[in-house]
Structure formats: structure tokens, C-alpha cells
Amino acid sequence: MKAVRAMGMALALMAVPLAAWASSWGGIEPGVTTAEQVRERFGAPSKETTQKVEGYDSTTLVYEGDKAPSGMTRMVVDVGVLKPDGFKPNLVRVFVLEPKPGIFPLQAVVDGWGLPTAAGEQGGYPSMLYESGLIVVFEKEGQFANSMTFIVPQPFQVPTAGATPGAASAPGAAATPAPRPPAPGATPGKPPVASPAAPRP
């Protein structure tokens, strides 16, 4: 709780405008970037799997080890998104970055993506939620990002007291992948990756 309060005080002191664009990183933007563009930029993944998600074919590209982007221990990209005009099997739906310890301090996140729409806790870990399509879970002290989940932007309501970011009510919110903090005994900076969510607009 102390980390969340400290984060709130730090955010209140940062005069940074709220990001007004869809959240992206490294040339990847959910709902816009294709799997081919991801491969062109980052090469062949370490592992590629396909699965059915609510009847739709979804592909997961995993970049880890030597194939992970610079500064990351792992990047996971889920491909296949449902849009109003139909299912797009080749568009990125969600991607998760697992930064190495110290790569993304709180200030760097705010400098890059602006002030969050909401801040609180995710499984006991300080977190920030951006309406533009970014959920950041920090380590216990709230200084450095443990995981950064990029999703298709969607409006949402700020959670009520006691609710955690990612549990906000919004159309399709149930399909939004909730990032998970490190499991007990997990290596810092390597939280479990959220399982692929159902394809959504």
C-alpha cells in the first residue's frame, strides 16, 4: 500500500499531459500492426503456437533469450483480433513486454505514455492503467515496471474503491487480458504472461 501511495504522490507531482493516442511500443500497435510487420522488425520468434480462442484461430509469437528485443527478457505477441467488420487473423491483438530489471522506471513510463487514467494494485503489485491501451504492473516498491501489456484502446470507467485496474467495466472488458504480477518465487522482472484473451474489437 505504501508503494501505491508513493506512486500516487509522484504522479500528482508530474506535470505530464495524458497521452491522447493509442499506446504502442517498438513499432507494434494492437489492432493495427500485422504479424508480418512484427517478424520484419524483430525477426523469427523463438516459438510460435496456434490455438482456438472462442472459435477463432489465434497465433502467439514468443521472443525470448537472444531473440528478445533489447532491454527485454521476453516479448509475447498474440495475433488475431475481432473487429466490427469481422475477424482479422493477421492483426496484433495484444502484446506483453517483460523488461529487464531497471529498464522502465516509473518516470520513464510517464514520460513515454503520459499520466495514467487510473492507478492502484494488481494482485498486490502497484499498477497503472491507460485508456489508450496500456497496463503496467510494477515490482513491489513501485519503482520499475515488471510487465507492460498493450491492448486495443477502449473507453472504460475508473474502478470503484477496492477494484483493481483491469477490472474496470467497459464493453468487452471481460475479454481484456489482465496482466499478472510475479508468482511467489518467480524471478524479478519475469512475471507470468497473461494467457491470450478472446479476440475483441
Q: Is residue 186 part of a domain?
A: no
Angle formed at CA 166 by CA 149 and CA 13, multiple of 5 degrees? 80
Domain extent for 62: 2-175
Average pLDDT over residues 158-174: 41
CA distance 149 to 137: 9
Average pLDDT, the chain: 77
Model confidence pLDDT, tens digit, residues 45-75: 999 999 988 889 999 999 999 999 999 999 9
CA distance 112 to 25: 10
Q: Is residue 183 part of a domain?
A: no
| 139 has a pLDDT exceeding 80 | yes
Is 148:176 a contact under the CB 8 Å cutoff?
Answer: no
Q: Is residue 73 part of a domain?
A: yes
Q: Is residue 192 part of a domain?
A: no
Q: Is residue 46 part of a domain?
A: yes
pLDDT at residue 150 in the model: 97
Q: Is residue 115 part of a domain?
A: yes
Q: Is residue 146 part of a domain?
A: yes
Model confidence pLDDT, tens digit, residues 14-32: 333 334 457 899 999 999 9
pLDDT at residue 154 in the model: 76
Total domains in the fold of the chain:
1
Q: Is residue 189 part of a domain?
A: no
